[in-house]
Chain A
Amino acid sequence: MIGGLFIYNHKGEVLISRVYRDDIGTRRNAVDAFRVNVIHARQQVRSPVTNIARTSFFHVKRSNIWLAAVTKQNVNAAMVFEFLYKMCDVMAAYFGKISEENIKNNFVLIYELLDEILDFGYPQNSETGALKTFITQQGIKSQHQTKEEQSQITSQVTGQIGWRREGIKYRRNELFLDVLESVNLLMSPQGQVLSAHVSGRVVMKSYLSGMPECKFGMNDKIVIEKQGKGTADETSKSGKQSIAIDDCTFHQCVRLSKFDSERSISFIPPDGEFELMRYRTTKDIILPFRVIPLVREVGRTKLEVKVVIKSNFKPSLLAQKIEVRIPTPLNTSGVQVICMKGKAKYKASENAIVWKIKRMAGMKESQISAEIELLPTNDKKKWARPPISMNFEVPFAPSGLKVRYLKVFEPKLNYSDHDVIKWVRYIGRSGIYETRC
């Protein structure tokens, strides 16, 4: 299991160090070994797991803060990384951005958290909802608690529904569903899709009273086909709109065995915002934009670049925050750009031409052309021609996912499914959306 956990600043000074097991040797040795071999290493770090003198170090970086977990045993590596991410989430939930300043300001709190969520190197309940009931920034809550409150805390921390406490009341029962998708694409210069997938998340914000039982439904092909077996008519009608989900993962509140057997998504939600599910699709993706590049080398000192983008969705919808990034060679001396729409600039520090368009409707087309002048070099190595990348936001789900229903049942309290106000929103964003040139 995890033998110790250290947090360093970018200089390699240790901000937090908590040792759970003696086997990792003296605190100093382990702390220094990581600093010398990883933070101060001359070469770029080639692995997130480093073995130094039979001691293994796992690290993740958040802005310029290093978090390192140390062990001498054959631990579950995936668990250690998941824990480090979780640790970051918990810290962020308590004091916002993970920065040297914030860590120093909250070091007592961090030690308290580390004591709670990691015991002898074993991760314990790390749900912020539960933690916040008894680890607070004020710290002195325990004296004023009644016995019932205390046992409520402990039963929540250890309980089956560790993510929700009892007795929540809202005057207005309301819930928000956000379907957030990021569409990823790698396209060849000839316009052939090399790989494309959508990774999506369903984020739910729930303000519901009591312990509501929820059931979530979407246009999952498997479910629709199962239901539509009765009438062939319906299958053909709804079958068109259903989507094939390659794989999905759920928040721990979802009953996985029920999903496995009936493919129904039922759960008691945590209070407030949480990520209900993540999913991935690869079939029938709507690619919101097509990028058509044309790069011509004119002699040794000049490049001509022409890029056309085409929007490929309903004309009534508007895409926003469109940005096309065209990489330029390192020896670029000057660039002239002409674009039909939006603004384009050559950014020397980023070695790229950045073309920004605020809004663009569906089924439209726009174009940029640029002349790049190059300094003559005797560098034998050819320019690697990094791909042209794109960023955008569209108000629909590129996977085609649709929320069919979200039913709420709370048998003990007197509100019904109809009384709950529900909001659904779809946002499609670019993930890694690249076209080779």
Chain B
Amino acid sequence: MTDSKYFTTTKKGEIFELKAELNSDKKEKKKEAVKKVIASMTVGKDVSALFPDVVNCMQTDNLELKKLVYLYLMNYAKSQPDMAIMAVNTFVKDCEDPNPLIRALAVRTMGCIRVDKITEYLCEPLRKCLKDEDPYVRKTAAVCVAKLHDINAQLVEDQGFLDTLKDLISDSNPMVVANAVAALSEIAESHPSSNLLDLNPQSINKLLTALNECTEWGQIFILDCLANYTPKDDREAQSICERVTPRLSHANSAVVLSAVKVLMKFMEMLSKDLDYYGTLLKKLAPPLVTLLSAEPELQYVALRNINLIVQKRPEILKHEMKVFFVKYNDPIYVKLEKLDIMIRLASQANIAQVLAELKEYATEVDVDFVRKAVRAIGRCAIKVEQSAERCVSTLLDLIQTKVNYVVQEAIVVIKDIFRKYPNKYESVIATLCENLDSLDEPEARAAMIWIVGEYAERIDNADELLESFLEGFHDESTQVQLQLLTAIVKLFLKKPTETQELVQQVLSLATQDSDNPDLRDRGYIYWRLLSTDPVAAKEVVLAEKPLISEETDLIEPTLLDELICYIGTLASVYHKPPSAFVEGGRGVVHKSLPPRTASSESTESPETAPAGAPSGEQPDVIPTQGDLLGDLLNLDLGPPVSGPPLATSSVQMGAVDLLGGGLDSLIGGPNFVAPPATTVPANLGASMGSGLSDLFDLTSGVGTLSGSYVAPKAVWLPAMKAKGLEISGTFTRQVGSISMDLQLTNKALQVMTDFAIQFNRNSFGLAPAAPLQVHAPLSPNQTVEISLPLNTVGSVMKMEPLNNLQVAVKNNIDVFYFSTLYPLHILFVEDGKMDRQMFLATWKDIPNENEAQFQIRDCPLNAEAVSSRLQSSNIFTVAKRNVEGQDMLYQSLKLTNGIWVLAELRIQPGNPSFTDLELSLKCRAPEVSQHVYQAYETILKN
């Protein structure tokens, strides 16, 4: 009876013994032997040598023995393909067996044997089984099609199995329907473009009917499939939602979560004014809460999903704070997730309760959990202003516990509270200073140093405190060193008399003894600022800081929308899109929430424009990303302009690097004097005015050499931000050289001289090829046009967005910073034409996930016009094809840094109502695609 004896360790020569037993005449002995073989296989021993002997046992009427042999076959057939063929006959015979269980077993097992020769024989039996009279056989055959597709997709298509599978969706048996849906969904995933799962109102209706009748697992398959459907209008969405909501009461949590996914997705299409919308919101909360009484592993999955749902639709669970309170016996992974959600739900109404809980948690045992709880208190303070005072006093209580990591964590969050509410809670500084010695983590040390520097004027012994840190300067982490440098400079500016020595010490430590370029750069900036213009230094270093936002860890909205489409799946657990953890082509199709389309109301302008719409007129587009804010804290260098800091979005943190010794070498002197124009060697093209270049353009004559599209000049730096200097400009590319056409206008009352320009490191290494030459001083109200030649040999640093360029311009008055986005087509080089063979090979070679698709709307040009227009901007048409009345252009282009981009452009010239062009781009560096698309759009639309 007991089978455990098969697991006992075996001696040498076992294989021979087994061989003999397998060939025994006695049935029982044979079975025993096969069991031993399977046991050895399980523990990882290689028993493939017994293949022929085991296969010999296959022809038996003993079902148990047969199943064991099949199990063996599935494991070893691949390693012994020639032998495996021996089994085929039995399989084919079994597929004809009168017993449906055996027919199903045979077709199920055959599909698991990944040997080409066997799959050939599988087709006929499979075809029969798909039409078998017994539903059990049909449901097994449906899954078998997916198996076969995994082995040989072409075969499945050729044999017409896909159509048979589609027919099974209308089968009378719900389980057959469910398995067919599962198989089709999986096959469709590897053919994103095909319309395999032809979802339409009729087929959806069939699925919804089957939903009521099939097993819990079948319901999951069907719901997951429904979630991929986009209803045609809000009415259809509502009717599907109505039929899906009963699933929220299912005992299986996965059914519930998949139903939630469908509802969350289709809700996007419903108008918020609808009564039904409110009802639906109310119906969603209870099942989500119920998920929290499931087993801990499921709770974890549910909590990760609730985290997304709370970010997307906070109204659903806003009254359910209490259920997220941590229980003493919850596993740590559940505790940490609950804490996250508690903070998200914290509001003025419930803050008292939340704080009491958090304080409780801060005394627990698990270090990570305690830290997170302390941090959460700080986040509450920032989120709910009314609670700030209570939070601060709670944190002070925690500091009194003297538990080392609690104190450190508390100091880090108090720093954030100071940032959010300046000049409000300084009374606690004294308490903080008492704990200076216990801080051993860089983040806490840096936070404490920041606090001392920021409030240096109120701390009597600030200099002593900072000096104590300075002793071990070289052993500190960069974070602390940078902070210490800034703090001491702040201190010096506030109390210059006593601290001169200290500041000199830190500046020399930072600039002379450090290998860290960031530290050195920052040191030099401060040094130079302090030595040239202490007033300016004060303005820079002690500038008012931008406020920090309350939600710093929200998931970026487009990702959030994508993740909502993946509720219940691994993607929602990892909070990452599937492409981040799934290999190959499977499941990397980006999903997005459906736009709202109303059937009754007039259409509102749908938000169809892709995220990064072309931005010709936006000279200072800098995404104020929440994530950046954390970093901003480390950087106390405020924007060096007067006026409220928040308004000057044209300066980014990276601007610090701009002066890193660069201007020095450019201008050649510490006094920031631009070299006289005459000494500059005449550079070809550099002195060319824009008018002249037009002329050049004409003379060049040949079409291919004509310059690429030039956007009209836009204002990059408004006068009010630059003490009267207004800069507008654009980028051009003419016969292989790039230039920046600038227009400088003096709107101030004084004369401007000594112009110089410098670029920050950028994605493509753009740098001025010559100094900025302004021949005469710029008198008030005068405008001068300059064309600055650029090259692409500068130092490279990836920028966000990719085509961001940060520029510093200096004149006799001050240094100004701005940033601009350059159109990518200035980087398209003249030899960007690939030959056809090359193109084909490269297109195939680039993996599919690198392909990006875009639409260029309302572009009523024909193929020739498009082609020639693009060619003048160095996008070359490699081939052209006409498919079913559509023109397909295959194009290539090359960037200055050697990156090739391949494009397929689909034009429908015959159809006047359809003027959208479809563009798919393939590139080994997929991040450029978005910008290439923008370039296309800019060129074609102008």
Contact = CB atoms under 8 A, between A and B. Distances in A.
Given A77-B573, A79-B217, A115 B300 contact: no
Interface stretch (A229-237, A255-263, A300-308, A417-425): A255-263
Interface in B294-335: 295-298, 300-302, 322-323, 325, 327-329, 332-333
Interface in B103-142: 108, 111-112, 114, 134-137, 139-140
B509 interface: no
A304 to B, nearest CB: 20
B900 interface: no
Interface stretch (A48-56, A170-178, A309-317, A393-401): A48-56
B139 A158 contact: yes
A48 B333 contact: yes
Interface in B345-388: 353, 356-357, 360, 363-365
Interface stretch (B284-292, B603-611, B913-921): B284-292
A13 interface: yes
- Secondary structure class of chain B's binding surface, majority of residues: helix
A188 B360 CA distance: 10
Nearest to A107: B3
A127 B214 CA distance: 13
B587 A73 contact: yes
Contact of B301 (A15, A77, A159, A384): A77
Interface stretch (B412-420, B575-583, B836-844): B575-583
A46 B572 contact: no
Nearest to A138: B64
B108 A115 contact: yes
Given A54-B583, A124-B217, A151-B134, A119 B143 contact: yes
A377 interface: no
B646 interface: no
Query: Which one of A16, A83, A120, A432 has the greatest number of beta carbons of chain B within 10 Å?
Result: A120
B174 interface: yes
B791 interface: no
Contact of B249 (A47, A125, A126, A260): A260
A101 interface: yes
Given A79-B220, A195-B322, A46 B100 contact: no
A56 B572 CA distance: 13
A71 B7 CA distance: 27
A122 to B, nearest CB: 5
A297 interface: no
Given A119-B108, A150-B100, A158 B176 contact: yes
A246 B289 contact: yes
B327 A49 contact: no
A111 interface: yes
Nearest to B331: A48
A147 B98 contact: yes
A81 B258 CA distance: 14
Contacts of A134: 101
Contacts of A112: 64, 67
A14 B44 contact: yes
Nearest to B173: A158
B856 interface: no
B246 A115 contact: no
Interface string A220-258: 000000000000000000000000001111111001110
Contacts of A154: 100-101, 134-137
Contacts of A79: 217, 220, 254, 258, 568
Contacts of B87: none
Query: Which one of A23, A154, A275 has the greatest number of beta carbons of chain B within 10 Å?
Result: A154
Given A73-B587, A249-B290, A259-B249, A46 B333 contact: yes
B567 to A, nearest CB: 9
Interface string B1-38: 11110110000000000000000000000000001001
Given A107-B6, A158-B173, A195-B323, A56 B35 contact: no
A68 to B, nearest CB: 12
B613 interface: no
Given A108-B68, A154-B136, A82 B252 contact: yes
Interface in B79-116: 98-102, 108, 111-112, 114
B364 A157 contact: no
Interface string A1-36: 100000000000111110111110001100100000
A142 B101 contact: yes
A42 interface: no
B249 A250 contact: yes
Interface residues of B, number: 114
Query: Which one of B213, B298, B403 has the greatest number of beta carbons of chain A within 10 Å?
Result: B298
Interface string A124-166: 1111000000100001111101010011011101111010000
B147 interface: yes
B903 interface: no
A76 B254 contact: yes
Contacts of B356: 188
A140 B289 contact: no
B541 interface: no
B3 A108 contact: yes
B212 A432 contact: no
A350 to B, nearest CB: 14
A97 to B, nearest CB: 15
B176 A260 contact: no
B221 interface: yes
Given A158-B139, A186-B327, A246-B289, A14 B249 contact: no
Given A382-B403, A436-B360, A75 B298 contact: no
B217 A432 contact: no
B543 interface: no
Interface in A253-279: 255-257, 259-260, 275, 277-278
Contact of B217 (A23, A48, A123, A259): A123
A409 interface: no
Nearest to A160: B213
Given A105-B2, A280-B290, A380 B402 contact: yes
A329 interface: no
Contacts of B286: 246-247, 280
B302 A1 contact: no
Interface string B136-178: 1101100110110010000000000000000000000111100
B503 interface: no
A48 B247 CA distance: 26
B425 interface: no
Contacts of B146: 120
Contacts of B71: 111, 115
Interface string B238-252: 000001011101111
B401 A160 contact: no
A381 B403 contact: yes
B39 interface: yes
30 contacts: A1-B182, A13-B43, A16-B42, A17-B42, A23-B583, A46-B332, A47-B300, A51-B581, A54-B581, A56-B581, A77-B301, A84-B297, A104-B2, A105-B2, A107-B3, A107-B38, A125-B217, A127-B215, A141-B63, A147-B98, A150-B100, A158-B139, A159-B173, A186-B327, A195-B325, A246-B286, A249-B251, A380-B402, A380-B403, A384-B363
Closest CB pairs A-B (n = 10): A247-B286, A104-B4, A154-B136, A139-B64, A78-B254, A260-B246, A256-B246, A79-B254, A74-B578, A48-B297
Given A16-B42, A74-B571, 13 more contacts: A54-B583, A56-B570, A79-B258, A82-B253, A82-B298, A106-B3, A108-B68, A122-B182, A139-B63, A246-B286, A260-B245, A280-B286, A382-B363
Interface of B: 1-4, 6-7, 35, 38-39, 42-44, 61-64, 67-68, 70-71, 75, 98-102, 108, 111-112, 114, 134-137, 139-140, 143-144, 146-147, 150, 173-176, 179, 182, 186, 212-213, 215-217, 220-221, 224, 243, 245-247, 249-254, 256-258, 286-287, 289-290, 293, 295-298, 300-302, 322-323, 325, 327-329, 332-333, 353, 356-357, 360, 363-365, 401-404, 566, 568-574, 578, 581-583, 586-587
